Amino acid sequence: MRTGGGWEEVEFNSREPVYLQVVRHFKEMIVAGRLEAGQVIPSRRELGTLLKINPNTAQRSYKEMEERKLIVTEGNSPSRITQDDAVLRAIRAELLGEAVDAFVSAVRKVDVPVEELLDLVKSKYIEALSSSPADVAAEGGAERP
């Protein structure tokens, strides 16, 4: 099964539950467009091998994602990413909110007028986008057999 990129580079933090880090990785792949709404995701067993985690942890991650309606499993067919727009929008808002919170708390240590900060963020962000524009486009939406 082709799963596209993005599974190999997961680095786990040893102080946070692994299953929650896996859920977070799924959310990041969804907002980056590497996993699309309705896309079939690896089986629990395949995920264990891909992320080099214990099958129990893979199982627990999927249970958590099912409870949060991130993925849906109907009968015996493979699990898929949800097509529920409200859920997908909420994930995006959640990750964006967290990233901005982290940025704000880091930048608060420096005394800077908001206009100057916004200009700086804008130019850095444009620079970042132009240096790796293919990141999302090339790896997203992997075709499958």
Partner 1 sequence: MIELKGVRKRYRGRYVLNGLSFTAEKGNITCLIGMNGAGKSTVMKAIMGLVPVKEGQILVNGKPRGRWIYEKISFVPDHLTMPLSMKMSEGLTFMADFYASWNAERAAELMRFFRLEPGEKIGNLSKGTAAKYNLVLGLAPNSDYVLMDEPFSGIDLFSREMIADVFSSDLIEERGVLLTTHEIGEVEHLIDKAVILQNGKAEMEFDCETMRSEEGKSIVDVMREVYSR
The site for partner 1 (CB under 8 A) is made up of 12, 14-20, 45, 48-49, 51-57, 60
In the complex, the smallest distance separating the C-beta of residue 78 from partner 1, rounded to whole angstroms, is 17
Q: Of the two residues 18 and 71, which places its CB atom closer to partner 1 in the complex?
A: 18
Q: Of the two residues 38 and 55, which places its CB atom closer to partner 1 in the complex?
A: 55
CA distance 64 to 20: 8
Give the C-alpha distances (Å, rounded to integers) separating 101 from 104, 108, 130.
5, 10, 24
Q: Of the two residues 19 and 26, which places its CB atom closer to partner 1 in the complex?
A: 19
Furthest C-alpha separation in the chain: 57
Q: Of the two residues 18 and 88, which places its CB atom closer to partner 1 in the complex?
A: 18
Residue showing tokens 């629990």: 44
In the complex, the smallest distance separating the C-beta of residue 12 from partner 1, rounded to whole angstroms, is 5
CA distance 25 to 27: 5
In the complex, the smallest distance separating the C-beta of residue 24 from partner 1, rounded to whole angstroms, is 13
In the complex, the smallest distance separating the C-beta of residue 23 from partner 1, rounded to whole angstroms, is 12
Contact indicator for 113, 45 with CB cutoff of 8 Å? no
